[in-house]
Amino acid sequence: MQIFNKEPSFDFMGKRKLALIVSILLVIISIASLATRGLNFGIDFTGGTLIEVGYENSADLSEVRATLESAGYGNAITQHFGSSKDVLIRVPPHEGMTNADLSTGVLNALHRDSGSDKIEMRRVEFVGPQVGEELTEKGGLAMIYALFGILIYITLRFEKRFAVGSVVALVHDVVITLGIFSVLRLEFDLTTLAAILAVIGYSLNDTIVVFDRIRENFRKMRKGSPVEVSNRSINQMLSRTLVTSFTTLFVLIALFVLGGEIIHSFATALIIGIIVGTYSSVYVASATALALGVSKQDLMPVKKEGEDDPDVLGDQP
């Protein structure tokens, strides 16, 4: 089966102005939301205590709240997690109480009120404020190092304008993914961060495949402006881009639906990231490289002195 029996010839680069406006708009909305609403950070970054309890039958949240209130944990936030039988309780730090006492206290209160056979501890997570700070710092650093590592690799393998193009695409993807998390108030925890870093890797994968073809076509095609060469390359790689994005999306949707509640934000981040990443590798990365004036000479293999190179002459844009 094939999507295109012949090589498609969509004019992607002709629409790059429109794409630019869309991208800028999305980035502005994302940054605005990140600046005003921020991210809904999980306890990995904020610090605090989180307790997940499983009930035998579906749990009544208002009862759970009442129990906690009477035990002196009135400021705890409760919500269903995954199913109505699971309850997630977030407890802010209590003055003069260690974390150990806090989680034990909450669990005991729940046990007391509902009879110990009916509920079960599924998960307790506590992150001290200091550890939270460290994780945030490390996470930010990881993102920056990953971007730099990639920038260096692409500069070595391709050319600096392509490197800038791919990093602009990456920043675009990361900012928009984070922006969507911020707008939708989705929880952002350590695994989400891992997903974002995977998005960086994936989106780059897509970009490089397109760049690789652009480079090849620059060398091969005797005629054609950079815009035409880019367009042709994107079209040639289009079915691959779509097929790979689809297979990856299939498995991610499987993960989202079947992987359980804990992995939800991870799968969500990747799904968003891959959709945005596919779009950006077509529009953002190549358009940036073009805007920076990438041309045929930049990509020709270095020739020895004295060897003549008829291709370069007369083919200037």
Partner 1 sequence: MNQYPTWKYVLIITVILTGILYALPNLYGDDPAVQISPLRGAPINEASVTRVSELLKGEGISTKSIEQIERGILVRFNNTVDQLQAKDLIEEKMGENYIPALNLSPATPDWLSALKAAPMYLGLDLRGGVHFLMEVDMVAAARQAGERYVSDLRSILRGEKVRYLSIARTSSGHSIEIKFRNVADLELASSIIRKEYPRLLLEQEDRGGDAFLVVSISDEEIRETKKMALQQNIITLRNRVNELGVAEPVVQQQGDNRIVVQLPGIQDTARAKEILGATATLEFRMAVENADVQAAIAGRPPVGTRLYKERNGSPILLKKRIIVTGDQIIDAASGIEQQNGSPTVFISLDSKGARKMADTTRENVGKPMAVVFIENKTNSKRIDGELVRTKKKIEEVINVAVIRDQFSKRFQITGLDSSEEARDLALLLRAGALAAPIEIVEERTVGPSLGQDNIDQGMTSVIVGFIIVMLFMAVWYRGFGLVANIALTVNLVMIVAVLSMLQATLTLPGIAGIVLTVGIAVDANVLIFERIREEIRSGNSPQASINAGYDKALSTIADANITTLIAALVLYTFGSGPIKGFAITLSIGIITSMFTAIMGTRAVINLVYGGRKVKKLSI
Provide, rounded to whole angstroms, the least separation between the CB of residue 123 and partner 1. 5
Q: How open is the CA angle 136-274-154, to the nearest 5 degrees? A: 75
Give the helix/strand (H/E) hosting 149: helix 129-157
> In sequence order, what are the residues at sequence separation of 6 or more whose Cβ sits closer than 8 angstroms to the Cβ of residue 56?
85, 117, 118, 119
Provide, rounded to whole angstroms, the least separation between the CB of residue 250 and partner 1. 5
Provide, rounded to whole angstroms, the least separation between the CB of residue 117 and partner 1. 6
> What is residue 300's DSSP assignment?
S
d(CA 158, CA 117): 63
Backbone angles phi, psi at 53, to 5 degrees: -120, 145
Which of 142/183 has CB closer to partner 1? Answer: 142
d(CA 188, CA 192): 6
Provide, rounded to whole angstroms, the least separation between the CB of residue 2 and partner 1. 7
Closest CA to 69 of 46, 89, 49: 89
Closest CA to 119 of 49, 50, 57: 57
Which of 223/313 has CB closer to partner 1? Answer: 223
Provide, rounded to whole angstroms, the least separation between the CB of residue 86 and partner 1. 9
Which of 89/135 has CB closer to partner 1? Answer: 135
> What is residue 50's DSSP assignment?
E
Which of 38/246 has CB closer to partner 1? Answer: 246
Which of 15/122 has CB closer to partner 1? Answer: 122
Provide, rounded to whole angstroms, the least separation between the CB of residue 300 and partner 1. 16
Q: How many CB atoms lie within 10 A of CB 127?
A: 22
> In sequence order, what are the residues at sequence separation of 6 or more whose Cβ sits closer than 8 angstroms to the Cβ of residue 250?
none
Provide, rounded to whole angstroms, the least separation between the CB of residue 53 and partner 1. 9
**AA identity, residue 158:** F
Backbone angles phi, psi at 218, to 5 degrees: -55, -40
Provide, rounded to whole angstroms, the least separation between the CB of residue 22 and partner 1. 25
Which of 126/188 has CB closer to partner 1? Answer: 126
* C-alpha pair distances (Å), 137 with each of 44, 45, 145, 213: 12, 9, 12, 37
Which of 33/44 has CB closer to partner 1? Answer: 44
Closest CA to 122 of 182, 77, 150, 82: 82
d(CA 174, CA 144): 12
Which of 33/81 has CB closer to partner 1? Answer: 81
